Amino acid sequence: MTLYFFERITDDDFIGPVIVAAPSEDEAWRLLAARERSQRPALEALGWQIAQDLAAMPARAAIVYPGHYRNALLDGPA
């Protein structure tokens, strides 16, 4: 089972994280689509994305950042 962290970021709104436990990415999208009463292509068009997937629990206590946050931390200030 993998934890999928979904989010939706627009100029006017932020929704997330919505955390879904599922055996595959397709199943995670299916569950999010059921929650949002929509279809995956419509959700993607609205800006929903997987911010992070966590296939295993960290070996020790840690803060788990969504992928784009981690990239921003590694890239440093612009």
Residues 21 and 43: their CA atoms lie apart, in Å, by 18
CA angle 22, 24, 4 (to 5 degrees): 55
Mean pLDDT of 60-72: 66
Q: In Å, what is the CA distance from 12 to each residue of 8, 33, 46, 47, 61?
A: 11, 22, 12, 12, 33
Query: pLDDT band at residue 68, thresholds of 50, 70 and 90?
Result: low
Residues 20 and 30: their CA atoms lie apart, in Å, by 10
pTM, full prediction = 0.76
Checking if the pLDDT of 31 tops 90, the result is yes
Per the listing, tokens 């994305």 go with 49
